[in-house]
Amino acid sequence: MIYASVSAHGATGTWLDEILELGVPLVLFIGLWWWSTRKEKKKAKSTPGTPAPEADVKK
């Protein structure tokens, strides 16, 4: 996107248009990127009846 077209639109239109056209998609994509890069938390305790993760290691 060309900066001149964005600034010209902001000068002639409302800044609400700018927020809706540029800000909302940017926040959406950043949120989706953050959600996709989350790391899964490891459980410290095992549930009853299942062996601990250390027991799964092959000897």
Does this model's pTM top 0.85? My answer is no
Q: 15-57, pLDDT tens digit by residue? A: 888 888 889 999 999 999 999 999 877 766 656 666 666 655 5
Using alpha carbons, list the distances in angstroms from residue 1 to 8, 9, 30, 50: 12, 12, 18, 55
Q: Name the residue range of residue 19's domain.
A: 3-34
Amino acid, single-letter form, for residue 28: L
12 part of a folded domain: yes
Place of tokens 């799964």: 56
Considering the domain boundaries, does residue 58 fall inside one?
A: no
Residue 10 lies in a domain: yes
Residues 3-15: tens digit of each pLDDT: 666 666 656 667 8
Question: Shortest CA distance to 13 belongs to which of 21, 23, 24, 3?
Answer: 21
C-beta of residue 23 within 8 angstroms of C-beta of residue 14: no
- 18, with CB counted inside 10 A (0-12, 13-18, 19+), is middle
